[in-house]
């Protein structure tokens, strides 16, 4: 079992990578999230602004465990960097810490977070294996690929967990662990037989049928269906204690504890479930959350929370049925979908999913057994996620009200648009717009703008901003002139100082828009976060106190716009890397391009070549050479 203290992230991050002046954004993020976390066991996931999972951990008490990251001064510098990079922290509650441990291992295997060190060597998680094809099968630890004839139980979070379980199996069931070669060549029992850890089938100390009984009991033990075995152990423990054989009673007690620990894992990995999704809805305060848990091969491969929009008079069944239909429109349905509410058209939905999958799909609402436990577990997580969401929305509303006070708005803004642009020496310039509102960031409203102005000087940020705002608000005037669709902002933030603000105000004035609140946000003289200056029309630049909650909120919005702009720029630059200057010349196919590159060495040298040099290239006619020359020398 992993320790309760934060594990060290990988060694490829040196202390020098953590800049002392880096804003402690993630620390404030965690502080807000921790306020809504339950004091229950579960698993937490830390993600950065790009959505990449940084770390997955388990906890006996989620609130206490994640809260320990707030003691930033006590952590190693590498852990501090992980905390600073955290943008979102999500949790999944579980019944027990043992379930959290298994779910943690499943998620680490699936997500491969950067700051989890368990999979840095890309090893698979261990299983317990019972090989087939032998009259006296052994029981061993196994990693790697599985074979059809063997039985596998797990996965386990660590080799130590497997070794402990194997030790318990040897104590209780006396199954062999030696290789087939050793088994075939034994002439007398080994030491394990002497210390009562093996039945010594190698020398005939047990019959094949009796060994089969022990093997069957071991399978029951590993699958959690071992009440009879556990009851027998309890009876023997009581008899030993009654006979004052306390050492034997303690040994039997330890075996029962080992069995209980393994059985407790089975609520999170249900071997009989196969391929299924568990979809559960919870509704409160006019809002809903749908939790989807993904099970493959009996293993929990993670979950995700969704918050669908719906009318107040929609029933739970209608909401969940509509969600499932839209969810599997872009995802392959599993063989089984388990739900927690009655769907009005379940047969039609199952038929539609079957058509999508090309095989039979069942949609059921379990009433008892393991499947009912899984559905209830998903519903509990949906309830917890909705409570956190509603608490976060309340906090978001307070920040928006504070923003209204800072910028002298009449009411809290429902839509804030933040603009930034990105380029390298003026090349591949793009503009970006991000949107935030009462529900947080509205990522489906983000927009990127490829700068199209031909005569724009390299690195002209003001010109790029003018183009972006012109295109954005000219389109808004065309598509929503009455401002009834909710697409007009209440506040426009420009990443930059007075120059950016002046450029933006001029664009709006040229478009006849005079009622939008526009402000610029720029870093201070030494470009340290926390010393931002704000620029507004008709006002002197001002700063907010370093501990002002709205300051951090606006920093987050500015940083998100910057991140989105850089992502768009990198995507455009990466696409351009694979292009050549010759791609712009019409009528030049792949073979001629190859001939030109072989002759001149690069596209740039082709562009600089003279007409006679181009004619000398094999396969390039006089007419083609003239076309190439005129393309790169339009002025003759």
When mean pLDDT is compared across 222-226, 231-235, 481-485, 486-490, the lowest value belongs to 222-226
SS3 state of residue 635: coil
The predicted structure's pLDDT at residue 300? 64
Residue 407 lies in a domain: no
Assigned token pair, 608 = 């600089």
Question: What pLDDT shows up at residue 329?
Answer: 72
Query: Is 393 a domain residue?
Result: no
Among candidate residues 115, 28, 29, the one with its CA nearest the CA of residue 79: 115
Q: Say yes or no to pLDDT of 31 above 80.
A: yes
How far the first Cα of the chain sits from its last, in Å, is: 76
CB-CB contact of 433 with 472 (8 Å): yes
pTM exceeds 0.75: no
**Tens digits of residue pLDDT in 431-448:** 899 999 988 888 889 999
DSSP annotation string for 385-405: HHHHHHHHHHHHHHHHHHHHH
Q: Are residues 569 and 585 in the same domain?
A: no
**H helical segments located in 243-301:** 246-264
Q: Indicate the range of 117-126, 225-234, 357-366, 412-421 predicted with least confidence.
A: 117-126
Task: Say whether both 197 and 58 belong to one domain.
Answer: no
Residues 454 and 540 in one domain: yes
* Residue 504: pLDDT over 90: yes
| Domain shared by 514 and 561, yes or no | yes
Asked if 504 and 494 count as a contact pair (C-beta separation under 8 A), the reply is yes
184 and 53 in one domain? no
**Which of these ranges, 194-203, 384-393, 627-636, has the smallest mean pLDDT?**
627-636
- Same domain (yes/no): 474, 592: no
Q: Give me Rg for the CA atoms of the chain.
A: 32
Question: What whole-number distance in Å separates Cα of residue 116 and Cα of residue 628?
Answer: 55
Q: Rounded to whole angstroms, how far apart are CA atoms 418 and 556?
A: 11
Judgement on whether residues 194 and 294 belong to the same structural domain of the protein: no
Domain membership flag for residue 2: no
Q: Is the pLDDT of residue 407 over 90?
A: yes
DSSP letter, residue 68: G
Looking up residue 620, the CATH number of its domain turns out to be 1.10.150.20
Q: What is the DSSP secondary structure assignment for residue 170, as one 8-state letter?
A: H
Q: How many residues does the chain have?
A: 636
- Give tens-digit pLDDT for 303-342: 788 888 776 777 899 889 888 887 877 677 888 999 999 9
What local confidence, expressed as pLDDT, does residue 157 receive? 44
pLDDT single digits (tens) 200-222:
999 999 999 989 888 887 887 77
Non-local (6+) Cβ contacts of 216 within 8 A are none
Domain containing 62 equals 15-111
Average pLDDT over residues 348-358: 84
For residue 92, count other CB atoms closer than 10 A to its CB.
29
CA of 47: how far to CAs of 17, 44, 54, 90, 572, in Å?
19, 10, 5, 8, 25
Q: Exposed, middle or buried by CB within 10 Å (0-12, 13-18, 19+), for 58?
A: buried
Region of residue 373 (phi > 0: left; psi between -120 and 50: alpha; otherwise: beta): alpha
Confidence category of residue 473, pLDDT binned at 50, 70, 90: very high
Local confidence band at 133 (pLDDT 50, 70, 90 cut-offs): confident
- 116 pLDDT band, cuts 50/70/90, is low
- Helix, strand, or coil here: 73? helix
Residue 321 within any structural domain of the chain: yes
Same domain, 217 and 248: yes
Lowest mean pLDDT across 223-227, 513-517, 581-585: 223-227
pLDDT per residue over 604-614, tens digit each? 778 888 888 88
Task: Give the pLDDT confidence score for residue 436 in this predicted structure.
Answer: 92
Quickly count: other Cβ atoms within 10 Å of residue 428's Cβ: 20
Task: Specify if 493 maps to a domain.
Answer: yes
3 in a structural domain: no
Q: Which of 78, 111, 144 is where one domain is finished?
A: 111
**Domain presence at residue 392:** no
Which CATH number characterizes residue 45's domain?
3.40.1440.10
Comparing CA positions, the residue from 556, 444, 570 lying closest to residue 48 is 556
| Residue 116 in domain | no
CA distance 417 to 618: 56
Domain count, the chain: 5
CA 163, 166, 171, 176 dihedral sign is: negative
Q: How far apart are CA 180 and CA 184, in angstroms?
A: 6
CA–CA dist 9, 114 (Å, integer): 7
Same domain for 549 and 421: yes
Give yes or no: residues 434 and 554 share one domain.
yes
The closest of 231, 236, 232 to 251, measured between CA atoms, is 236
Which CATH number characterizes residue 525's domain? 3.30.420.340
Residue at a domain's end among 234, 249, 267: 267
Q: Supply 37's token pair.
A: 């976390």
CA-nearest of 118, 66, 114 to 91 is: 66
Rounded to an integer, what distance in angstroms lies between the CA atom of residue 347 and that of residue 635? 71
Cis? peptide before 271, omega within 30° of 0? no
Q: Are residues 426 and 563 in the same domain?
A: yes
Q: How far is CA 274 from the centre of its chain?
A: 23
Q: Is the dihedral of CA 172, 178, 180, 184 positive or negative?
A: negative
- Lowest-confidence segment of 294-308, 494-508, 585-599 by average pLDDT: 294-308
Checking if the pLDDT of 269 tops 70, the result is no
Q: Which residues make Cβ contacts (< 8 Å) with residue 464, sequence separation at least 6?
A: 421, 423, 429, 431, 451, 453, 456
What tokens does 30 get? 């965690």
Q: Per the structure block, which two tokens stand in for 316?
A: 């739970």
Q: Could you tell me if 86 and 46 are in contact, meaning their C-beta atoms sit under 8 angstroms apart?
A: yes
Q: Report residue 424: phi and psi, to 5°.
A: -125, 110
CA distances from 92 to 44, 61, 266, 305 (A): 6, 12, 17, 10
Q: Are residues 63 and 79 in the same domain?
A: yes
**What letter would DSSP give residue 421?**
E
Identify the CA nearest to 168 among candidates 257, 64, 258: 258
Q: Quote the CA–CA distance of 339 and 364 in Å, as a whole number.
A: 6
């Amino acid at each position: 079992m992993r320790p309760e203290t934060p594990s060290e992230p990988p060694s490829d991050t040196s202390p020098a990578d953590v800049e002392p002046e880096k804003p402690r954004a993630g620390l404030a993020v965690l502080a807000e999230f921790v306020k809504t976390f339950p004091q229950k066991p579960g698993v937490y996931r830390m993600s950065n602004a790009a959505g990449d999972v940084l770390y997955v951990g388990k906890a006996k008490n989620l609130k206490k465990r994640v809260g320990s990251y707030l003691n930033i001064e006590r952590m190693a510098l590498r852990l501090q960097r992980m905390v600073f990079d955290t943008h979102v922290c999500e949790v999944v509650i579980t019944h027990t810490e043992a379930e959290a441990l298994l779910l943690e291992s499943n998620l680490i295997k699936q997500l491969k977070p950067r700051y989890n060190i368990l999979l840095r060597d890309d090893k698979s998680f261990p299983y317990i294996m019972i090989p087939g094809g032998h009259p006296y099968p052994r029981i061993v630890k196994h990693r790697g690929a599985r074979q059809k004839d063997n039985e596998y139980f797990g996965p386990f979070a660590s080799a130590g967990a497997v070794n402990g379980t194997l030790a318990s199996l040897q104590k209780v069931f006396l199954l062999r662990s030696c290789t087939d070669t050793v088994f075939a060549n034994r002439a007398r029992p080994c030491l394990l037989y002497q210390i009562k850890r093996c039945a010594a089938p190698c020398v005939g100390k047990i019959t094949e049928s009796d060994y089969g009984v022990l093997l069957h009991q071991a399978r029951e033990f590993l699958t959690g269906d071992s009440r009879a075995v556990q009851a027998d152990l309890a009876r023997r423990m009581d008899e030993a204690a009654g006979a004052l054989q306390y050492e034997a009673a303690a040994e039997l007690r330890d075996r029962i504890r080992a069995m209980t620990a393994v059985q407790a894992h089975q609520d999170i990995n249900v071997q009989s479930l196969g391929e299924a999704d568990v979809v559960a809805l919870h509704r409160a305060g006019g809002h809903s959350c749908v939790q989807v848990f993904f099970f493959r091969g009996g293993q929990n491969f993670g979950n995700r929370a969704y918050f669908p929009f719906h009318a107040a008079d929609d029933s739970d069944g209608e909401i969940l049925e509509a969600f499932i239909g839209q969810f599997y429109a872009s995802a392959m349905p599993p063989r089984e979908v388990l739900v927690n509410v009655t769907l009005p058209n379940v047969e039609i939905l199952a038929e539609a999913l079957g058509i999508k999958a090309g095989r039979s799909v069942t949609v059921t609402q379990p009433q008892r057994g393991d499947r009912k436990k899984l559905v209830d577990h998903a519903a509990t997580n949906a309830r917890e996620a909705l409570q956190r969401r509603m608490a976060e929305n309340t906090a978001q509303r307070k920040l928006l009200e504070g923003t209204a006070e800072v910028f002298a708005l009449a009411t809290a803004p429902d839509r804030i648009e933040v603009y930034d642009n990105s380029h390298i020496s003026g090349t591949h310039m793009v503009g970006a717009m991000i949107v935030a509102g009462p529900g947080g960031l509205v990522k489906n409203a983000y927009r990127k703008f490829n700068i199209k102005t031909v005569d724009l000087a390299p690195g002209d940020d003001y010109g790029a901003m003018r183009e972006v705002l012109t295109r954005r608000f000219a389109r808004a005037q065309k598509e929503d002139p009455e401002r009834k669709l909710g697409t007009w902002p209440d506040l426009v933030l420009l990443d930059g100082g007075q120059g950016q603000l002046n450029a933006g105000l001029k664009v709006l004035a040229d478009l006849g828009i005079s009622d939008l609140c526009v402000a610029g946000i720029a870093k201070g003289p030494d470009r340290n976060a926390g010393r931002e200056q704000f620029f507004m029309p008709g006002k002197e630049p001002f700063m907010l106190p370093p501990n002002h909650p709205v300051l951090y909120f606006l920093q987050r919005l500015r940083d998100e716009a910057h991140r989105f702009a850089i992502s768009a720029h990198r995507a455009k630059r990466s696409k351009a890397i694979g292009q050549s200057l010759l791609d712009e010349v019409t009528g030049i196919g792949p073979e001629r391009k190859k001939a030109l590159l072989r002759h001149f060495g690069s596209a740039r040298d082709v562009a600089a070549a003279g007409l006679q040099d181009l004619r000398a290239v094999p396969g390039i006619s006089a007419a083609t050479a003239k076309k190439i020359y005129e393309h790169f020398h339009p002025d003759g």
